[in-house]
Structure 1
Amino acid sequence: MRKVCQALVQIVLAAVLGQVSTFAAAQAAYPSKPIRLLVGFPPGGFTDLAGRMAAQGLSDSLGVQVVVDNRPGANGSIAAMLTMRASPDGYTFYMASPCHVTNTILQSQTRYDPIKDFTPLSGFADIPNILVVSPELPARNL
């Protein structure tokens, strides 16, 4: 699991550094201040863990502090809205989860379009799920 996570951090770093080169042409030294990584869930869950791993990798690679800012609530929508409203200067990132898209289907009040209002940089992690039942049930497969 650790090797998979390290590989995913490297993929995200490659994607982010590719974007950084775009900013470098328009600005002097990037990054020149801490980077904010918004996470739409409380500390301790998988999205938070993935965000902290990405933050550490980015910090090590870029030589600047990356602050994980947990903004739980509304199934991740609060952090998504903060990201959408942030200045597009490369200093705010959002660790999105599948809820980022499903919220727009399940919640009529969602105020963002996950396709139009955000630019995906990289897939980061895959969480396998399994269906289980009581061992007393005679089922063995679907």
Structure 2
Amino acid sequence: MDDIIRKLTRKHKTSCPFELANALGIHIRYTDLGKSTKGLYYRKLRRRFIVIHNQLSPEWQRFVCAHELGHDRLHKGINRFFLEEHSYFMPGKLERQANRFAILLLTSGTMIEQEETIHDYCRRNGIPQEMHPFFQP
């Protein structure tokens, strides 16, 4: 995963998930996804889309974009609905991987400063507080 992020950020000279999605030809849409869904990723007719809940804070929108970008990079060709009904590979694992990808992407190019707590480091890099437990230095 580190290597994927390193190549992606070097090639496109950014770690901004919105800029990366644009550079990769992924369309970003905003809409009301209800109370329980923050975002989703899907492919339709060879086009890729990230849909972000339009009521989220900018911090959360950025994290969700990075998370969904993780699905694009890590889970190519995997249909989640097929997975849930026809295999023992749990989608929860895919979500944890996408969370990890998002955190690594959003913190790429930065280091924990001396005397800085993990909480402060995550906050400085725009990672929502609820995602701090997924950070692994």
Shorter-chain TM-score above 0.5: no
Of Structure 1 and Structure 2, the greater strand share is in 2
Q: Which of 1 and 2 has greater Rg?
A: 1
Using the size of structure 1 for normalisation, the TM-score is: 0.27
Using the size of structure 2 for normalisation, the TM-score is: 0.28
Higher normalized contact order (CA 8 Å, seq sep 6+, divided by chain length): 1
Of Structure 1 and Structure 2, the greater helix share is in 2
